[in-house]
Amino acid sequence: MSQKVKFSSASSPHFYATIRARVEQFFNQHELSRNANAHMWGKTVFFLTGFAGLYIVILSGITPTWLLLPLAGALGMFSAFVGFNVCHDAIHGALSGNKNVNKLFGFIFNLIGANPYVWSLTHNVVHHTYTNIPGHDEDIEVAPGLIRIAEEDEVNAIQRFQHWYAFPLYSLASLSWVFRKDYVKFFQKTIGAHQNRHPKLEYFNLFFYKALYYFLFIVLPLLVLDVSWWQFVIGFLVLHITEGLTMGLVFQLAHVVEGTSFPLPNDSNCMEEAWAEHQMRTTANFATQNKVAAFFLGGLNRQIEHHLFPKVCHIHYGEISLIVKQTALEFNLPYIENKTFFSALRSHFVTLRRFGKEAAKVIPETVN
């Protein structure tokens, strides 16, 4: 079991206090809620309608068989977009000021195959606290032994080619989530340093809502669609490969690019910097001026603002980013940003290749 990491309170203790005060002042001055506005509720309706509409059209049987495959791909993308835009904010408590509303929209996570309770532990509690700390942040452990993104990661020969096979692996993320990841994380004794002690109700929720998902997306389509079993399997795989690749790319571009660090605690299990400073060094933005990215990615292209203010709805990140960037500059802290999606993608590719080359150098030494 990993011991809990403590963050320093000595270095630049005023950065987080300053930035919080400035953001609070911004919302007060403009008389804005930190939660969803009309534009955000419009996005919510759009993505949920698209998700439900695609599902209904596929099951209706009104489309020719050849069209089912692109519709399955579109449903996979909308599943990811619902997760990014609706469920992510809701589970963070940022969508609404009403806990019951957040719980209701967070429930939708079950309908894209993921468990909201497990996600809140792995993401909200562990990832947001111990971002990019090897052995603690399990969100960066995409495929242990296959993908190496930190010096401390296990080394083996195949990692020399990881910059080529990583992307196909990312496309399996959704399938893993539906059939494996939630169960594994739920029954681990710990997630990072977090001790797993689950309420009894969550045992029921895990199995019941997984079963509901399997019924809605496996059993029911097989019962109502006039397709063979192998055609269904292809469609199901296309749905999840599309969803998995969309999710995998977005999450990786926020933390595993050039400039982000993977710091370790010292011998006393303490980090050298304060928590907010740590977030600035381990998190990156991308394509922040792209309106299409802003609409579809649910603020995940503005990870710096999200990590500092996870309880603020992502619809406001563009406005508060000016405050965050200016304050970081004043405190001589980095504000890591790739201007476009493709520059971030290239940076991730370069990072994978660098760690792959380092693995190749270490292998002969370990063999001898």
Number of folded domains that form the chain: 1
Average pLDDT over residues 249-257: 91
Encoding tokens for residue 243?
A: 């969803």
pLDDT tier at 139 (50, 70, 90 boundaries)? confident
pLDDT tier at 11 (50, 70, 90 boundaries)? low
pLDDT value at 236 more than 60: yes
**Which residue range(s) make up the domain with 257?**
14-367
d(CA 363, CA 360): 5
pLDDT value at 78 more than 90: yes
- In this predicted model, which residue has the larger pLDDT, 143 or 168? 168
pLDDT at 10: 64
- In this predicted model, which residue has the larger pLDDT, 279 or 366? 279
Q: What does DSSP assign to residue 103?
A: H
Residue 1 in any domain: the answer is no
Residue 191 in any domain: the answer is yes
pLDDT value at 249 more than 80: yes
Quote the pTM value. Answer: 0.91
Based on its alpha-carbon atoms, the radius of gyration of the chain, rounded to whole angstroms, reads 21
pLDDT at 305: 97
pLDDT at 366: 46
Percent of the chain with pLDDT over 90: 78
Residue 55 in any domain: the answer is yes
Q: What does DSSP assign to residue 338?
A: E
Map tokens 């496996």 to a residue: 218
pLDDT at 200: 95
Residue 5 in any domain: the answer is no
Residue 242 in any domain: the answer is yes
pLDDT value at 364 more than 60: no
Whether the Cβ atoms of residue 263 and residue 278 lie closer than 8 Å to each other? yes
pLDDT at 318: 95
Tell me the CA end-to-end span of the chain in Å, nearest whole number. Answer: 31
Residues 29-77 pLDDT 10s? 999 999 999 999 999 999 999 999 999 999 998 999 999 999 999 999 9
Lowest-confidence pick of 14-18, 53-57, 231-235: 14-18
Residues 173-229 pLDDT 10s? 999 999 999 999 999 988 877 788 999 999 999 999 999 999 999 999 999 999 999
Chain mean pLDDT for the chain: 92
pLDDT at 330: 95
**DSSP code string of 12-80:** STHHHHHHHHHHHHHHHHTT--SS--HHHHHHHHHHHHHHHHHHHHHHHT-S-HHHHHHHHHHHHHHHH
Residue 115 in any domain: the answer is yes
Residue 154 in any domain: the answer is yes
Report the relative pairing of strands 190-191 and 337-338 from DSSP bridges.
Answer: unpaired
pLDDT value at 353 more than 50: yes
pLDDT at 13: 63
Residues 95-130 pLDDT 10s? 999 999 999 999 999 999 999 999 999 999 999 999
pLDDT value at 344 more than 90: yes
pLDDT tier at 153 (50, 70, 90 boundaries)? confident
pLDDT at 151: 79
Average pLDDT over residues 157-176: 92
Percent of the chain with pLDDT over 70: 96
d(CA 335, CA 290): 18
Residue 3 in any domain: the answer is no
